[in-house]
Amino acid sequence: MATNTLKMGIATPSVNVLITSFYHSILGETMKVEQISIFIENKSGRLAEVTQALGDSGINIRALSLADTSDFGILRLIVDKTDQAKQSLKERGFTVNKTEVVAVEVPDCPAGLAGILKVLDAGNVNVEYMYAFVERCGGNAVIIFRFDDPEAAIKVLTENNIHVLEGERVYGM
Amino acid sequence: MCWKESGSTACNPSLKTIMIQNENKTTNIWDRDNECMSRDGLETLQLERLQQTLKRVNEHVPCYQNKFSALGLSVADVQSLEDLRKLPFTTKEDLRLNYPYGMFAVPMRDVVRIHSSSGTTGKPTVVGYTRNDLKIWTQLAARFMTAAGVTPDDIVHIAFGYGLFTGAFGLHYGAEEIGASVIPISSGNTDKQIMIMQDYQSSALVCTPSYAMTLADRMEKQGIDPHRLSLKVGLFGGEPWSEEMRREIEQRLGIIATDNYGLSEVMGPGVAGECQHQCGMHIFEDHFIAEIIDPETGEVLPRGSIGELVLTSITKEAFPIIRYRTRDITRLDYEPCACGRTHVRMMKTMGRSDDMLIIKGVNVFPTQIEEVLFQVEGCEPHYQLVVERDGTMDTLEVQVEVNERIFFDEMKKQRAFVNMLEKRLLSILGVGARVKLVEPSSITRHEGKAKRVIDKRNS
């Protein structure tokens, strides 16, 4: 996982409070971020083909993570135009799935991520995997989380005043 | 060698109900007198025709004369159907040795058609038909096509290759005999096939089962809903396919998928065909005698055993064939069928005795692997087996093309899926296999038959 690439500054966990009490299930949908995952056989040139296909369709990659085994890899991407990206990759014969992840603003300081994971743990939410976002959000880092239960995760995070970024905002970053 | 009993061959009740609702059951028997003849009457007819055939081959085909005399056999020794087992087998090798016309029992002036089987190894085999042979072939094709549900109202789309291969011509003449409208589109050019299906309103599709899947894939890619086409029935043959593949084709194309059986050495399509109950293919026993043997020892196996199908033609003039080893593995069911036909039913072929792989001393059929892949929900049969030898150890790798239903964004789940497949394969095959997921369309497709096995052990 790509968490070790995240640079943390030195400060105590600070939190951006933008959204307050009334969201939860209603806002849960817009709070989630759409991610596409692509099956890639472990052979030369495949990653280049995926990125070329996206480039040809004028799609910009916002964040990515690659999990691999000796046979195959799973490439996960957040892009500015999800449906268009999925379509264009399918047309080139790739197997593509769409999943929902959550983008969380993380204070860029030591223990910034630890504080958030503690909150999630206390709320009994499991992290399947996570990876860092390229862009920062107002001085804070952004981490993409795949949770077993995204709704519960969003609820726990927002209740603890941790900022979850809306999908629309993430695609345009 | 020991042949295990296969799973239940009970009729498919849901489909049966649909058919009874949609069709008048009494109308889909083409030749009631012959197809529903009493077993006693049938066996008397078989013996009479067998004796005539033996007499003819003994007079006109040196290969048979030599084989019989080598065993000290006289055709007069065959006094019952049981006596058939005294006769020697005919193999593909015999046909090759007598290439091209050595097995013909009539002079060439009486032969009006020549076909040939694909010569995948060495020389092809050549078969001939007299005018009467073609008449019978047409009738038998009309029988199984009628049983499948083809009527004079149908538009029959024949996507088998026209040429030396018997598939296309057999069904072509059968469909015309029924009075259906035939589109002789032949094989290849999938996009054009789909356009014609849409525009000409093809209602019956004739091709190999793997090509039916190719058509479904292409339609999906093009965003065409097969359920909106006029297709209602498919007549698939030319390669073995599983019940699961049948269900997948039925569901994806929105048709009833029927099976039929034939091989050019015996006649072509029309040796056997399925009725609406889909519980095996009726072998047209007034023209062919079927036996099941152990492929290793050649012994005739007791009724109900799984083994290699051996066929004897009893009405053919130009190219009679005695105890031909088909290499197809199946089982015969003599229980009466609900459709009223009395002819024995052969189960779907479970593979070819020469496709049988011996891996670490265990007999493995590619179709067993197909079954496992289908049982795993949503897994299409795009797979390939690669057998290699690592030192003295055989290794089996099953390559499976990934699709959206078996692809997960979590590595944990993806690995669990691969492990589950490997466990199931081990329990079904009795030998370990490594599963490798590969990208869609990366396994070579053929417009006709699918190449399932790559055996690198002898190269």
- Under the banding of pLDDT at 50, 70 and 90, the label for residue B16 is very low
Would you say residue A95 has pLDDT above 60? yes
**Among A105-109, A151-155, B78-82, which range has the highest average pLDDT?**
B78-82
Which position has the higher pLDDT, B297 or B158?
Answer: B158
Contact B426, B433 (CB under 8 A): yes
**pLDDT one-digit tens code per residue, A53-76:** 999 999 999 999 999 888 899 999
Which position has the higher pLDDT, B11 or A3?
Answer: B11
User: Domains along chain B?
Assistant: 1-354 (3.40.50.12780), 357-455 (3.30.300.30)
Which of B409, B412, B413, B414 is best to mutate for the A interface (most A CBs within 10 A)?
Answer: B409
Query: Average pLDDT for residues B75-94, to the nearest whole number?
Result: 95
Contact status of B223 with chain A (Cβ, < 8 Å) = no
CATH class of A2-32+101-171: alpha beta
| Listed residue (B174, B177, B182, B193) closest to B154, CA to CA | B182
Nearest CA in chain A to B414: A74
For position B370, what pLDDT does the model report?
A: 81
- What residues does A146 pair with on adjacent strands? A129
Query: Average pLDDT for residues B53-75, to the nearest whole number?
Result: 96
ipTM of the assembly? 0.77
**pLDDT one-digit tens code per residue, B181-228:** 999 999 989 999 999 999 999 999 999 998 999 999 999 999 999 999
For position B15, what pLDDT does the model report?
A: 47
Q: How far apart are CA B103 and CA B133, in angstroms?
A: 15
For A34-99, the fitting CATH number among 3.40.50.1370, 3.30.230.10, 1.20.120.160, 3.30.2130.10 is 3.30.2130.10
Would you say residue B359 has pLDDT above 90? no
- Under the banding of pLDDT at 50, 70 and 90, the label for residue B393 is confident
Contact A165, A142 (CB under 8 A): yes
Nearest CA in chain A to B401: A95
Query: Average pLDDT for residues B437-444, to the nearest whole number?
Result: 86
Contact B144, B261 (CB under 8 A): no
Would you say residue A166 has pLDDT above 80? yes
For position B454, what pLDDT does the model report?
A: 86
| Listed residue (B136, B318, B157, B331) closest to B235, CA to CA | B157
Query: Average pLDDT for residues B292-304, to the nearest whole number?
Result: 91
Would you say residue A100 has pLDDT above 90? yes
Would you say residue B9 has pLDDT above 50? no
Query: Which of B71-80, B260-269, B385-394 has the weakest average pLDDT?
Result: B385-394
For position B21, what pLDDT does the model report?
A: 43
For position B122, what pLDDT does the model report?
A: 62
Share of chain A above pLDDT 90, in %: 60
A9 Cα to chain B: minimum distance (Å): 30
Which position has the higher pLDDT, B440 or B43?
Answer: B43
B399 Cα to chain A: minimum distance (Å): 11
What tokens appear for B266 in the block?
């015996």
For position A18, what pLDDT does the model report?
A: 36
For position B24, what pLDDT does the model report?
A: 44
**Of A40, A71, A99, which is closest to B409 when you measure between CB atoms?**
A99
Q: How far apart are CA B369 and CA B381, in angstroms?
A: 9
For position B372, what pLDDT does the model report?
A: 85
Tell me where in chain A the CATH 3.30.2130.10 domain(s) lie: 2-32+101-171, 34-99
